[in-house]
Amino acid sequence: MPNRLLLALARSQVAKAAVSRAPVTRDVVRRYVPGETREEALDVAARLAAEGLHVTLDFLGEDTTAPGQAEAVVAEYLALLSDIHDRGLADRAEVSVKLTALGLRLPGGEALARAHAHTICAAARAAGTTVTLDMEDHTVTDVTLAILRTLRTEFPETGGVLQAYLRRTLQDCVTHAGPGERIRLCKGAYDEPDAVAHRDRQEVDAAYVRCLRLLMAGQGRPLVATHDPRMVAIAQHLAREHGREPGDHELQMLYGIRPHEQRRLAAGGETVRVYLPYGQEWWGYLTRRLAERPANLSFFVRSLLSK
Ligand code: FDA
């Protein structure tokens, strides 16, 4: 299970500043975050698209502390969507958005984040593509799903994320298995208390399979977000069992994790989407990636010490 101490550091600017100064950091960040600028990210997106993959672009940032910051995030997404359109990438590239980057935790945050997300969804539609709302820690699950429901009344193509580790998620899958739903199912990356989340790996995997069964049997478009070979095999099996075609569900993985497998699955006819984050606010994202895999962390720490 994710390393609790590391996840606690995800919100520490002091830790970020200390680690950022180490020369090795750039290499580790680059493994998961291919660029700091929109242009770099779009170049990578175009390259992946040419290789038969789809992408979802995420402008990194979370837990915005001032309204002006949230407005800057919206402006970046609007520019990104315009560039996706202009570069002819709209049929291959969509965007992923975190509501706390849009001001969800500010006073009046729900209305603010909903209005900002609405602006981004309208721009995505104009650009010929879609938005998926990322899911953050359990304190914002209800509000995120409420905003998703509101957005879907006007933009039914908007997607959401459900985290299999949350004890509530099976019921959320029942709610979100209907026609037109696009649900990205992941295991979950935050440090959650036992009361709300399974913490044992086997329990999380079993919950993931239960959720997968529901979504695959439903009428929506399941977005199977995992690098776990067993979960991918089960998803493929369930898709066949329910007579699904490659175009009506997706396999999704993060940039930098199992890249050969991403290409192998796409070459085999699967719709594979790569989550492609960019920007300078990579700290929270990186700490979650390191926490997912202790081997990553020890490699990183050894590299830091050897410099
Ligand atoms: P698991 O952790 O069991 O890993 C399976 C295998 O994948 C590992 O054995 C290893 O080989 C490889 N692997 C996994 N993580 C790795 C890493 N960091 N570095 C190197 N190898 C690694 N979470 C969330 O809470 N909210 C969200 O909105 C999203 N969004 C999202 C989108 C997409 C497209 C993906 C793929 C994932 C997310 N996540 C997420 C993250 C997710 O919850 C989960 O933390 C990671 O995907 C790791 O879990 P796996 O399902 O890959 O299984």
Test site for ligand 1: of 144, 199, 228, most ligand atoms within 8 A of the Cβ: 228
296 falls within a domain:
no
Q: Is 157 helix (H, G, I), strand (E, B) or coil?
A: coil
Report which of residues 28 and 269 the model is more confident about.
269
116 falls within a domain:
yes
250 falls within a domain:
yes
What CATH number does the domain containing 253 carry?
A: 3.20.20.220
152 falls within a domain:
yes
Structural domain range at position 256? 34-156+244-281
296-305 long-range contacts (CB < 8 A, ≥24 apart) are 297/3, 297/6, 300/24, 300/28, 303/24, 303/27, 303/28, 304/19, 304/22, 304/24, 304/25
Total structural domains within the chain: 1
180-211: pLDDT as tens digits: 999 999 999 999 999 999 999 999 999 999 99
Distance CA 23, CA 278 (A): 19
pLDDT of residue 24: 66
Average pLDDT over residues 43-66: 97
123 falls within a domain:
yes
267 falls within a domain:
yes
Test site for ligand 1: of 132, 163, 293, most ligand atoms within 8 A of the Cβ: 293
Q: What angle do the packed helices 13-20 and 283-292 form, to 10 degrees? A: 80
For residue 59, which phi and psi values (nearest 5 degrees)? -80, 110
83 falls within a domain:
yes
Active site residues: 134, 184
How many other β-carbons are positioned within 10 Å of the β-carbon of residue 290?
A: 24
pLDDT band at 290 (very low <50, low <70, confident <90, very high): confident
AA letter at 280: Q
142-179: pLDDT as tens digits: 999 999 999 999 999 999 999 999 999 999 999 999 99
144 Cβ inside 6 Å of ligand 1: no
Distance CA 22, CA 307 (A): 8
289 Cβ inside 6 Å of ligand 1: yes
232 falls within a domain:
no
